[in-house]
Amino acid sequence: MAKQRTSRAQFSSKFGLIAAAAGSAIGLGNIWKFPYITGVYGGAAFLFVYLGFILAIGLPVMLSELIIGRKSRRNAFGAFKKLAPGTPWKYIGSFGVAAAFLILSFYGVVAGWSIKYIFFSLDKTFHSLSPQDISGSFASFIQDPLQPLLFQIIFMLLTGAIVIIGVQKGIERYSKILMPILLVIIIVLDIRAITLPGAGEGLKFLFHPDFSRLSFEGVLSALGHAFFSLSLGMGTLITYGSYVKKDTNLVSTAIQVTAADTLVAILAGIAIFPAVFAFNIQPDKGVGLIFETLPNVFQQMPGGMVFSILFFILLTIAALTSAISILEVVVAYFAEELKMKRNVATVLATALITLLGIICSLSMGIFSDVILFKRNVFDLLDHISANILLPIGGMFIALFIGWKFGKKKVVQEIAEGGSLKGGILNVFMILVKVVAPIAIFIVFLQGLKILDLFTAS
């Protein structure tokens, strides 16, 4: 056993760990989804509720995943098998591995769109186009049978190339390069956005709460996004936690990663809403905000081409740092449970996920008539992973730490490099035993539309 612990890859530095874990949490959810759902549900009121759920639900579950990973020194599946041998708990890890596989298949498709939009920005594709024409251009692109596949494959090759190199030389090294670049780009975009005439209305929308505009559905959406934006429930932080040194302070690590993730989401809102309000565009444009509304904003903005290029580079980097961690979940499972060499595991995982992603991409076009459970393949995989696999995985991770692993072992593991004071420890145990599982179960019910039966008027 000692030999395995010694030979297992580890992050070489605290900064490398924070960069990698923050990169895992910071993805399309921060740059793409957070701004548009904030717009849909009324701005600042949604933001304040979201921040509350981040502290009460997201942070405790993140710390739980890191504890499980470091204590077990195993992948998401093997961690539960080691910590609770001979019990059904190991199957909770399989939910995470399955979720990672499915998520990366369609995540790679959307990331491919962001790469294509860098080229759209470079050749001024949207110059002088009307908003309707820009929307039509986006629809034509995603329905094309070849172009989206090309950029999806490019993105997946980049992801696989980084993961195949290993934890220190691949994941850690490139996270330490990409995360500072991401932060610099988003700050540049923020400075430009807040200096636009009329930008003040956008900042007011984002930071001045009007709770009368926040619906029950908005509260549930804030709860769900607080959980999903941190990449919880899919085994990424269990896997990364297994590469953490024993003297690393897990409490401060979880706080720093959560803070970085939340900061980037807010900075994305600052980059987007002042620009949207400056050009009199409604902030509640939904999923089309990034690929349809923003190109219209950029083409009206002085120097818009430069900022459009920077924005879609930012989106691609955020997607890449997150995709690396998702792929590592599957690769670690293949390597440790199926006894594959890392190179073989990475190539196989990348290839299989890309193939499923191709089907997801084509479901927007030539496979659009293939409908399963009233959804195309892309939407079905998104629904299964986001509304079934992730909530179940996250809920049982909290329950495992609270009821199976227990307070005594939590104290022992956290004592390696850090501590939780008595009062805070008790609050943490209440959150993982009761509050987080109930809240995540509500997200599960909402995702399956079961709550609609009780809230419909």
Say which residue the tokens 């934006």 belong to.
Answer: 229
Residue 432 is which amino acid? V
What's the pLDDT at 42?
A: 82
The residue that leads in pLDDT, 456 or 317, is 317
The whole-number pLDDT of residue 215 equals 86
| Position 401 confidence tier, pLDDT thresholds 50, 70, 90 | very high
Select the more confidently predicted residue: 299 or 372: 372
In this structure, are residues 366 and 150 in contact, taking their beta carbons and an 8 Å threshold? no
**Band of pLDDT at residue 109, cut at 50, 70 and 90:** very high
Quote the pLDDT of residue 2: 37
- HEC string for the chain: CHHHHHHCCCCCCHHHHHHHHHHHHCCHHHHHHHHHHHHHCCCHHHHHHHHHHHHHHHHHHHHHHHHHHHHHCCCHHHHHHHHCCCCCCHHHHHHHHHHHHHHHHHHHHHHHHHHHHHHHHHCCCCCCCCHHHHHHHHHHHHHCCCHHHHHHHHHHHHHHHHHHHCHHHHHHHHHHHHHHHHHHHHHHHHHHHHCCCCHHHHHHHHHCCCHHHCCHHHHHHHHHHHHHCCCCCCCHHHHHHCCCCCCCCHHHHHHHHHHHHHHHHHHHHHHHHHHHHHCCCCCCCHHHHCCCHHHHHHHHCCCHHHHHHHHHHHHHHHHHHHHHHHHHHHHHHHHHHCCCCHHHHHHHHHHHHHHHHHHHHHCCCCCCCCCECCECHHHHHHHHHHHHHHHHHHHHHHHHHHHHHHHHHHHHHHCCCCCCCHHHHHHHHHHHHHHHHHHHHHHHHHHCCCCHHHHCC
Residue 187 in tokens: 């700050």
In tens, the pLDDT along 26-61 reads 887 788 778 878 888 888 999 999 999 999 999 999
The owner of tokens 């997201």 is: 58
Across 326-353, average pLDDT: 97
CB-count exposure of residue 171 (10 Å: 0-12, 13-18, 19+)? buried
pLDDT bin (cut points 50, 70, 90) of residue 180 is very high
In angstroms, rounded to a whole number, what is the distance separating the alpha carbons of residues 331 and 164?
9
Pairwise CA distance, residues 208 & 79, whole Å: 44
pTM for this structure?
A: 0.91
Question: What is the rounded distance in angstroms from the CA atom of residue 201 to the CA atom of residue 395?
Answer: 39
Query: Is there a contact between 148 and 113 (Cβ–Cβ < 8 Å)?
Result: yes
Round to the nearest angstrom and report the end-to-end CA distance of the chain. Answer: 59
Contact 206, 269 (CB under 8 A): yes
Average pLDDT over residues 264-272: 89
Contact 242, 70 (CB under 8 A): yes
Instruction: Evaluate the CA torsion angle 42, 389, 317, 179 in order and state its sign.
Output: positive
What is the pLDDT at residue 291?
84
Average pLDDT, the chain: 89
Q: How confident is the model at residue 454 (pLDDT cuts 50, 70, 90)?
A: low
pLDDT band (50, 70, 90) for residue 1: very low
Give CA angle at 273 (269, 279), nearest 5°.
Answer: 160
Residue that wins the pLDDT comparison between 449 and 77:
77
Domains (ranges, CATH) in the chain?
A: 13-127+142-451 (1.10.4160.10)
Asked if 321 contacts 163 with a C-beta cutoff of 8 angstroms, the reply is no
Calpha distance 292→422 (Å, rounded): 50
How many other C-beta atoms lie within 10 A of the C-beta of residue 282?
Answer: 11
- Which tokens hold the place of 379? 């939407």
**Res. 5: pLDDT tops 50:** no
Q: Cα(420)–Cα(425) distance, rounded to whole angstroms?
A: 5
Q: Which of 256, 234, 185 is nearest to 20 (CA)?
A: 256
Average pLDDT over residues 269-285: 80
